[in-house]
Homo-oligomer: A and B are copies of this chain.
Amino acid sequence: VPHNLNDVATPGLLLDLHQFDRNIERLGTHLRKLSPHLKLRPHMKTLKSVELGRRLTDALGTQAITVSTLAEAEAYAKAGYRDILYAVGLAPAKLGRVARLLGEGVDCQVVTDNVATAKAIGAFASKQGVKVAVLIEIDCDGHRAGVKPDDSDQLVAIAEVLGPVAELRGVMTHGGGSYGLADPEALKLAADQEADSVRRAATILREAGFAAPVTSVGSSPTALADCDRSGITELRAGVFPFFDLVMAGIGVCLMDEIALSVVTTVIGHQADKGWILCDAGWMALSRDRSTQGQRVDYAYGQVCDAAGVPFPDLVVHSTNQEHGIIALREGARGSLPDIPVGTQLRILPNHACATAAQHAGYNVMRGDTDPIEWVPRFGGW
């Protein structure tokens, strides 16, 4: 067994640090070539680790970050980050925590897509005398939140109601619809649509007299696509340092570029059913089944040997809380490999964000002989 994997208590989250570095370098190279003017603002929600976050931003040469919770904002701020976009529509009750970050010198930018929240932000800013920077969320593809890019009434109403103390920093969108795609041409169109939506919305706001200097886009699939990003000022992406089976299904990485896996141990067999039982259930893998809608459905994950080499068509076909049931995919031509009790395996996850969130930290593997290092994660809200 390579990498001192026997030191990993199973089930345990494993990070291949060399692959992590290569994945970051790939995005950095792609964007330096294609859009050298872009400010990179990686999404730190996947990592939730100060140490890995620092490694990511250092490699990309940026200090700007995106977060999905105020708990992340607070943890990264404590680690020294000062330029943080909280990229989930703000609940007005969270303004007190935003103000505390602003008071500590953190440029904590918030997001909304509606007049009610904008009004609450404006009133809070006036009352407390704090300059809250706001990006209006734009809906580029109908998949979630945001103002339609051409809805000038709504855009201007939000901008106006923010009032004189809050600052309209600009517009942002997330091309989450790209997660449903699977070919480079469609991904390029999604990236174009994402960029176009914020350009149009920013133009409306600027013509109405608001500076709105920031136009922010991003998702890992669109970030890796070819796209004209003139008029775009910054780019966000999150899962690309790890990648996962969903990203492989979309076509933005190969299976052997996935840097994250769950180490598990075989605990039994049900030979008559063709099952191998292991100690990674949904508690370790997450309940995420996002490859279900893709061309290849990996059920709860692709099974690899301890060195990370996939067994063809072998997946975690179902899970209980602490049991994984490994079996051949339906229609597989091979036969079930003989894997004795006690054998360590690695499971590639459907969705790195969901699987990583089930664990308190990473077992970080630097090389075949280096000791495995424990790097903690944080969670919560």
Contact = CB atoms under 8 A, between A and B. Distances in A.
A381 B341 contact: no
Chain copies in complex: 2
Interface in A283-315: 283-284, 286-289
Contact of A9 (B6, B287, B288, B381): B381
Nearest to A283: B357
Contacts of A288: 282, 287
A114 B269 contact: yes
23 contacts: A6-B93, A9-B94, A68-B283, A88-B267, A88-B322, A89-B277, A91-B267, A92-B341, A93-B265, A114-B268, A114-B269, A116-B342, A120-B342, A142-B273, A144-B277, A144-B320, A144-B325, A145-B267, A145-B323, A282-B354, A284-B381, A286-B286, A360-B379
Those 8 A-B pairs whose CB atoms lie nearest each other, nearest first = A287-B287, A89-B267, A91-B265, A116-B341, A68-B322, A287-B288, A88-B322, A89-B268
A270 interface: yes
Query: Of residues A269, A323, A359, which shows the largest number of chain B Cβ atoms within 10 Å of its Cβ?
Result: A323
Query: Of residues A9, A10, A142, which shows the largest number of chain B Cβ atoms within 10 Å of its Cβ?
Result: A9
A287 B340 CA distance: 31
Contacts of A90: 267
Interface of A: 6, 9-12, 45, 68-69, 88-94, 112-114, 116-117, 120, 139, 142, 144-145, 176, 265-270, 273, 277, 279, 282-284, 286-289, 320-323, 325, 340-342, 353-354, 357-360, 379-381
A176 B88 contact: no
Contact of A88 (B69, B279, B353, B379): B279
Main SS class of interface, A: loop
Given A145-B277, A381-B9, A340 B268 contact: no
Contact of A381 (B6, B11, B93, B116): B11
B117 A267 contact: yes
A277 to B, nearest CB: 5
B68 A321 contact: yes
A45 B321 contact: yes
A341 B287 contact: no
A90 B286 CA distance: 21
A267 B288 CA distance: 24
Contacts of A269: 114
A114 B268 CA distance: 6
B354 A287 contact: yes
Contacts of A320: 144, 176
